[in-house]
Amino acid sequence: MSDERGLTTVWVWGDQLDGRLAHLRGRDPGRTRVLMVVSDRKLIERPWHHQKVHLVVTAMRRFAARLESDGFAVDLRRAPSMRDGLAAHVDAFDPGEVVAMEPASRLGTRTLAELGVTLVDNDHFLCHWREFATFRAGRGRTTMEDFYRWRRRETGWLMQDGEPVGGRWNLDTENRRPPDADIAPRAAADPPVIDVLDDVDAGLSDWLPDTIVLTGDAPDGMWATSREGALERLERFTTRVLPRFGDHQDAMVTGAWHLNHSLLSHALNLGLLHPREVIDAVVEQYAAGAAPLNAVEGFVRQVLGWREFLWGVARTADDGYPTRDALGADDPLPPAFAGDAPTAMRCVDDTLTSVRQHAYAHHIQRLMVLANLATLAGVRPDALTDWMHGAFIDAYDWVMVPNVIGMGTFADGGEVATKPYVSGGAYIDRMSLDYCRPCRYDRTKRTGEDACPFTTLYWDFLDRNRDVLASNHRIGRAYANLDRLGDLDAVRARAREVRERLAAGTL
Ligand code: SF4
């Protein structure tokens, strides 16, 4: 490594691995040294899925090697904390200036500002959070759908003469079909790209503190740790999987963990792919007649709509947002989530198996199985956030906090979602091919030893939260149904038992 002093240091964070972004774009390798820090403190702050730690650290190492081959001096170092890493770097190299791209999280941005690092705006998103704040200002309540339509107009994607292509903004009604018997074999015909793990992977342990707690199965090459690997996965998705992506977007099938999902979020969130190129690639498939509009629109909404909207929410919310708890939920996370107790609930077991094996569950499993259960059972929202952050391959602070606090648990009282995303067993049965029939529990029953825990807890949840939720017109009909139940006392008693057994790991 060059020991020349006085070079400008560009500090690249582990989720900014793209030389085309604002921190590195146009930099002269002869005048720039790149700093990257693997922080022990970050690695021991919570249990992490083994595959996620492997992904982030390996991708950083590969990116460092790429920069070196491009002529940059790179200081990739392990340090007790990010601050310690910077201090040691400054001692060693005495840079003229330290520059960084604004981290995705607000806390990270604050830390760098305190350290005197010069920040440039983050352009790993298509809509900077200040632009998001301006859009929302004075509009009152703004939904993701409002934001998404504005972004479609601004960017021109899937637009024609100022109107949405096909005449509708949102084709979700075509994307919620229940699964059919052929869905799993069709998905299996296009298996994910798997990389061969090599010597870079073998050296992972040198970068990890002794006290790290790793969960889940070991890395198996599923996730892209380089730009090349990410592009291969993008190609697979757009050319082979995208045509089927839309129809059964919300479907669940035992053992079929990826179905027709893109498996690109890990690469997008690390910086291995940019949202612009991903949307361009998908829209091109529509223009070429190779993918139907419902699939393309549904995917574009996830990236241009949801992903960007959640970043805007995370960056503009108040400091108390991550610990909001509008429904007063205070139970601990059930041991089943951490893998410390098996469960006879087939939907939960299949989803947690997918998380253990792949650090992944698709969005409807996250929302309508895991977050649904946690919300119905009164689990602390921040405990769910913390677990999901460590367990999912694509989770970071900025994406998990609004996903859980806003979408998953309604803990923000309705700033992101217009109603709680909760359901009994009937919804899970409708959207899954084979969860409920072989299950020990009966999704039609709300009381008794074999009552489906989702069904029991759904009615009890409405009952317990009547003060907060009954005036929400989007769930008014549910309250009308609740008021017609003749066995509410028995439901309450069974719900108490279900929550106790969930907490004890015996459900
Ligand atoms: Fe899940 Fe209930 Fe269906 Fe069992 S019956 S799989 S617990 S929804």
pLDDT mean by block of 10 residues, the chain; 507 residues = 75 96 94 97 97 97 96 97 97 95 95 95 97 90 92 97 94 84 84 87 91 96 96 96 88 91 96 98 97 95 96 94 96 93 96 97 95 97 97 97 95 92 96 94 97 98 94 91 95 97 95
Atom of ligand 1 nearest to the CA of 442: 5
Report the b/e string of 290-307 with b at 16+ CB within 10 A. ebbbbbbbbbbbbbbbbb
Contact of 233 with 270, CB cutoff 8 Å: no
Q: Compute, in angstroms, the gap from residue 254 CA to the centroid of ligand 1.
A: 12
Q: State whether the beta carbon of 346 lies less than 6 angstroms from ligand 1.
A: yes
Q: Please report the pLDDT score of residue 73 as a whole number.
A: 96
Q: Compute, in angstroms, the gap from residue 467 CA to the centroid of ligand 1.
A: 28
Locate 235 and state its tokens. 């190609």
CA-wise closest residue to 9 among 19, 25, 26, 23: 23
Q: Please report the pLDDT score of residue 465 as a whole number.
A: 96
Locate 505 and state its tokens. 């790991």
Q: Compute, in angstroms, the gap from residue 359 CA to the centroid of ligand 1.
A: 22
Q: For ligand 1, atom 7, which residue shows the shortest CA distance?
A: 345
Q: Please report the pLDDT score of residue 3 as a whole number.
A: 57
Q: State whether the beta carbon of 431 lies less than 6 angstroms from ligand 1.
A: no
Q: State whether the beta carbon of 63 lies less than 6 angstroms from ligand 1.
A: no
Q: What is d(CA 388, CA 384) in angstroms, rounded to the nearest whole number? A: 6
Report H helices in 225-274. 227-236, 242-245, 265-270
Q: How far is CA 478 from CA 22, 118, 133, 461, 486, in A?
A: 49, 52, 34, 11, 15
Q: State whether the beta carbon of 424 lies less than 6 angstroms from ligand 1.
A: no
**CA angle at residue 46 from 40 to 51, to 5 degrees?**
80
Q: What is d(CA 446, CA 460) in angstroms, rounded to the nearest whole number? A: 10
Report the b/e string of 316-349 with b at 16+ CB within 10 A. ebeeebbebebbebeeebbbbbeeebebebbbbb
Mutation choice for ligand 1 from 350, 352, 431, 436, CB with most ligand atoms inside 8 A? 436
Q: Compute, in angstroms, the gap from residue 454 CA to the centroid of ligand 1.
A: 7
Q: Compute, in angstroms, the gap from residue 505 CA to the centroid of ligand 1.
A: 16
Q: What is d(CA 352, CA 365) in angstroms, rounded to the nearest whole number? A: 9
Q: State whether the beta carbon of 404 lies less than 6 angstroms from ligand 1.
A: no
Q: What is d(CA 329, CA 404) in angstroms, rounded to the nearest whole number? A: 13
Q: Compute, in angstroms, the gap from residue 372 CA to the centroid of ligand 1.
A: 12
Q: Please report the pLDDT score of residue 189 as a whole number.
A: 84
Long-range contacts of residues 164-171, Cβ cutoff 8 Å, at least 24 apart: 165/286, 165/293, 166/293, 166/297, 169/145, 170/145, 170/297, 170/301, 171/246, 171/293, 171/294, 171/297, 171/298
Q: For ligand 1, atom 1, which residue shows the shortest CA distance?
A: 347
Locate 72 and state its tokens. 């940059």
Q: What is d(CA 198, CA 253) in angstroms, rounded to the nearest whole number? A: 33
Q: Please report the pLDDT score of residue 183 as a whole number.
A: 84
Mutation choice for ligand 1 from 454, 457, 459, 507, CB with most ligand atoms inside 8 A? 454
Q: Compute, in angstroms, the gap from residue 503 CA to the centroid of ligand 1.
A: 18
Residue 355 has a CB neighbour count (10 Å cut-off) of 25
Q: What is d(CA 134, CA 315) in angstroms, rounded to the nearest whole number? A: 13
Q: Compute, in angstroms, the gap from residue 346 CA to the centroid of ligand 1.
A: 6
How is 169-192 classified by DSSP, letter by letter? S--GGGSBPPP-TTHHHHHHTSPP
Mutation choice for ligand 1 from 253, 254, 345, CB with most ligand atoms inside 8 A? 345
Residue 191 makes CB contacts below 8 A (sequence gap 6+) with none
Q: For ligand 1, atom 8, which residue shows the shortest CA distance?
A: 425
Q: State whether the beta carbon of 101 lies less than 6 angstroms from ligand 1.
A: no
Contact of 396 with 105, CB cutoff 8 Å: yes
Beta-sheet strands, E only, within 216-285: none
Q: Please report the pLDDT score of residue 5 as a whole number.
A: 72
Q: What is d(CA 336, CA 349) in angstroms, rounded to the nearest whole number? A: 8
Residue 236 has a CB neighbour count (10 Å cut-off) of 18
- pTM confidence score: 0.95
Q: What is d(CA 396, CA 491) in angstroms, rounded to the nearest whole number? A: 37
Residue 266 has a CB neighbour count (10 Å cut-off) of 26
